[in-house]
Amino acid sequence: MMQPTLRVVRSNVLVVLFSSANMRGLSMSRPSLRASCLHPSQRKRCRTSRSGHGRREIKFRKPCRQSVSCAAASQLKALVFDCDGVIVESEGLHREAYNAAFAHFNACIPGKQGNIEWSEEFYDELQNKVGGGKAKMRWYFGENGWPTSTEFQVPPQSEDEQAALIDALQDWKSLKYQDIIGTDAEARPGVMRLMDEARDAGIKVAVCSAATKSSVVHVVKSLLGDERFEALDCFLAGDDVPEKKPDPSIYTLAAKRLSVQPAECLVVEDSAIGLQAAVDAGMRCVITYTNSSKTQGFEGAEMIVRDLNADPHCVRIKDLVQAQDFLDDREVATP
Which amino acid makes up residue 149? S
State yes or no: is 171 an active-site residue.
no
The string of DSSP letters for 165-222 reads HHHHHHHHHHHHHHHHHHHH--PPTTHHHHHHHHHHTT-EEEEE-SS-HHHHHHHHHH
Q: Are 316 and 197 in contact (CB under 8 A)?
A: yes
Residue 325, CA distances (Å) to 12, 48, 289 in order? 27, 24, 19
Which amino acid makes up residue 7? R
How would you classify the pairing of strands 265-269 and 46-50?
unpaired
Residue 335: is the preceding peptide bond cis (ω within 30°)?
no
For 24, residues 6+ apart whose C-beta sits below 8 A from its C-beta are 15, 16, 17, 18
- Of 82, 233, 247, 328, which one is the catalytic site residue? 82
Residue 154 and residue 166: Cα distance in Å, rounded? 15
Of 123, 26, 40, residue with least CA distance to 299: 40
The string of DSSP letters for 108-172 reads B-TTS-SS----HHHHHHHHTT--SHHHHHHHHHHHH-PPB-SS-SS---SHHHHHHHHHHHHHH
Q: Residue 284 is inside which H or E element, if any?
A: strand 284-288
Residue 88 and residue 182: Cα distance in Å, rounded? 12
For 252, residues 6+ apart whose C-beta sits below 8 A from its C-beta are 262, 281
Q: How much is the CA Rg of the chain, to the nearest whole Å?
A: 20
State yes or no: is 84 an active-site residue.
yes
Mind telling me the catalytic residues? 82, 84
